[in-house]
Amino acid sequence: MSKRSKEILDAAARLFGENGYDATGIRDIAKAVGINSASLYYHYKNKDEILCETACYGVRMLQDAVETAMLAERTLLNQLYAGVVTHIDTILSHQALARVLLHESQQLTREFAAQVITARDRYEQLWMNKLHEGVTLGVIQANLNLHLTRLLCFGAANWSITWYRSDGQYTPQEIANTLFNLLTPGFLTAQAQQQWKERVNNEHE
């Protein structure tokens, strides 16, 4: 991605996130970047394509951050925790982009929506692979509906963009910690839950 293309997507994410897709025009995006509309069309053919690329850019950024965080951890339990923390930190650090991905992208035409769905499916598969691995390793309870578990966990995580404030009472780390500690009794095995409690206790000593 060229520097100019990234500038366009960053501006589009901010404007779509703040004002909504319908209320944002090509001229608004071009003005925010400091170029004219004709120059913007050199990079993207229409506003739908900009919305699509902005949403896909958000998914890729999220997946790259989560994968990097997971790779830094040795145990699956720590990988899951690092992934949850990074997911929440990323969406709360890029709230406009997260709103585009979670809300505004629903206005895409079928052609462009399919591209976003493909990118989103790759990210969701990363989590499904980890959950299945967790069952195999005895970290996650074998009787769970893993698809539903993922939907519920990330429904709670993603909803945080509606009430989080950067100058508010809670940090992204505190939100992630609370969510993980709230959910773990429901999906970790007894042995993994004990390991997690020991880690939490050691951190508080």
Q: Which CATH number covers residue 199? A: 1.10.357.10
* Whether pLDDT at 204 is above 70: no
Say which range, 53-62, 73-82, 103-112, has the weakest mean pLDDT: 103-112
- Domain assignment present for residue 34? The answer is no
Range of the domain at 63: 47-204
Bridge partners, 140 (sequence order): 188
Of the pLDDT bands very low, low, confident and very high (cuts 50, 70, 90), residue 3 is confident
Q: For 6-43, how does the pLDDT look when each residue is reduced to its tens digit (9 = 90+)?
A: 999 999 999 998 899 999 999 999 999 999 998 899 89
174: which 2 tokens? 């505190």
Report helix angle 76-93 to 95-102, nearest 10: 100
Any domain includes 19? no
Instruction: Tell me the C-alpha distance between 104 and 15, whole Å.
Output: 11
List of residues 6+ apart from 188 with CB closer than 8 A: 77, 139, 140, 141, 196
- The confidence score (pLDDT) of residue 202 equals 76
Residue 8 maps to a domain: no
Angstrom distance (rounded) from CA 94 to CA 128: 24
Q: Is residue 37 part of a domain?
A: no
- Tell me if 111 is assigned to some domain: yes
What pTM value is reported for the model?
Answer: 0.92
Q: Which two tokens stand for residue 200?
A: 């939490």
Residue 86 has pLDDT above 80, yes or no: yes
Q: Check residue 200 and give its pLDDT.
A: 78
CA gap 80, 127 in Å, rounded: 9
| Structural domains counted in the chain | 1
Q: Judge whether 131 and 149 are in contact, CB under 8 Å.
A: yes
Question: Phi, psi (5° rounding) for residue 140?
Answer: -110, 140
